[in-house]
Amino acid sequence: MLSPFDRLKSASLTFFLVVGCVNIVACSSEDQAGGGSSVRNPTSSCPIRTAVTGRPLVIVATVAPITSLVANIAAGSGTVIQGIVPEGTNSHTYEPPPSVAATLEDADIVFINGLNLEEPTKALAKANAQDGSVMCELGTATLPADEWIFDFSFPREGGKPNPHLWTNPLMAKDYAGLIRDSLVAADPIHSEIYESNYQALAIKIDALDQAIITATSTIERSQRQLLTYHDAYAYFARTYGWTVIGAIQLSSFEEPTPREVADLIDQVKDVGVPAIFGSEVFPSSVLEQIGSEAGVRYVDVLRDDDLIGAPGDPEHSWLALMRFDYVTMVEALGGDASALKALEVSDVGLDTADYPQ
């Protein structure tokens, strides 16, 4: 099957080296190498739990996009789903309070992203695991280590790869498959519900994939470039033929130096992109300065793990989040996002998960 990258018939993907080789840039195109779509690689990172009988399954999930994917697969099964990481929180630095231990004690399955995103939560979950409970690291199980991306905010020497696989629809589909398999094994009496929900969600994800391909084709190749505050779109870019030219947020979460900012301003001018992108959750005066001095539009509404609206709202879902981000990017870079806007992004069933705010 041809990857979306092949279907776009793009030239081989080249990644700019912004500001030489400092932490806010890619120091080697080797780190960006890899195929256009994910290959599920189930390992001990996502073990199977023995069946639970006589009561509803209890699931704990970390960031909201993962909680949303779990809620879609589990809709209508009676499964209890509890999110942990509050929306609008920096998931990279989140330290779970002691009260979360009680939530983790009750879990049959704990779904985390892995790839070193939620280490404090992972440690707390291990320390409070009940007999028979399992932890599924979706990202770690989905992507082989030789396809990890190390880059701007996630340098190789830091040992933590970019963990944002869920912003790539094809990888999120792999997450959904692993979630389905985990729930079917732990709650076989509802296996038909889990399988049916997965199939319905997979159709929606495939439609999102095609809409991204269509929308991307309307952007001039020279404009398919992202300068963002937080580097949350590296796996998306690798699959769909975009180029990430930089990220402001360093691995240390400090601001870049004035020299680095000046170099980025020059780079943005040279590249000629019409817009750069900030985070709705983490406003950046540095990006605003770069946009102003480079004469480009600063769009500060992207979000990678904070869903649209509030729990219970029609668009409070992973699907709607992805549509929002990619409509924003495509339109700001001069493309036509009508294929994305036409998507139906409601959940496949009633979302009963608890999302902390």
Statement to judge: residues 109 and 232 lie in one domain = no
Cβ distance 239 to 36 under 8 Å? yes
Residues 235 and 335 in one domain: yes
Query: In this structure, is residue 143 part of a structural domain?
Result: yes
Q: Is 352 within a domain?
A: no
- Is 249 a residue whose pLDDT tops 80? no
Q: CA 252: distance to chain centroid?
A: 20
Q: Are residues 190 and 294 in the same domain?
A: no
Give dist(CA 261, CA 265) in Å, integer: 6
What would the DSSP string read from start to end of 240-274? HT-EEEEESS-TT-PPPPHHHHHHHHHHHHHHT-S
7 burial level (CB within 10 Å; 0-12, 13-18, 19+)? middle
186 and 284 both lie in a single domain: no
Angle at 357 between CA 163 and CA 228, to 5 degrees: 40
Q: What is the largest CA-CA distance in the chain?
A: 64
pLDDT tops 90 at residue 346 = yes
Looking at the structure, tell me whether residues 153 and 283 fall in a common domain.
no
Evaluate whether residue 20 is within a structural domain. yes
Interval 149-164 mean pLDDT: 90
- Asked if residue 351 is part of any domain, the answer here is no
The pLDDT tens digits for 318-345 are 999 999 999 999 999 999 999 999 999 9
The answer to whether residues 153 and 272 belong to one domain is: no
**Statement to judge: residues 231 and 187 lie in one domain:** no
Residue 302, φ and ψ in degrees, nearest 5: -65, 150
pLDDT band for position 260 (cuts 50, 70, 90): confident
Residue 221 included in any domain? yes
Read off the CATH number of the domain in which 26 is found: 3.40.50.1980
Residue at 77 is within a domain: yes
Same domain, 188 and 222: no
Neighbouring CB atoms inside 10 A of 195's CB total: 15
Place of tokens 């240390």: 252
Nearest 10 degrees: Cα torsion 142, 202, 335, 229: -40
Q: How far apart are CA 349 and CA 76, in angstroms?
A: 7
CA atoms within 13 A on the CB side of 95: 1
In the chain, the number of structural domains is 2
**Residue range(s) defining the domain that contains residue 264:** 4-38+210-341
Q: What pTM did the predictor assign?
A: 0.88
Please tell me whether residues 192 and 218 are part of one structural domain.
no
Per-residue pLDDT reduced to its tens digit, 60-108: 999 999 999 999 999 999 999 999 999 988 898 899 999 999 999 999 9
Task: Give the pLDDT score at 216.
Answer: 98
346 lies in a domain?
no
Question: Which whole number is the average pLDDT over 8-31?
Answer: 34
Say if residue 48 is exposed, middle or buried (CB neighbours under 10 Å; 0-12, 13-18, 19+): middle
Does 43 have pLDDT greater than 50? yes
Query: pLDDT tens-digit profile of 104-153?
Result: 999 999 999 999 999 999 999 999 999 999 999 999 999 999 999 998 78
Residue 295: pLDDT band with limits 50, 70, 90 = very high
In this prediction, residue 274 carries a pLDDT of: 95
Both 184 and 273 in one domain: the answer is no
Q: What is the pLDDT of residue 294?
A: 94
Are residue 70 and residue 191 in the same domain, yes or no?
yes
Q: Are residues 262 and 141 in the same domain?
A: no
Examine residue 91 and state whether it is found in any structural domain, yes or no.
yes
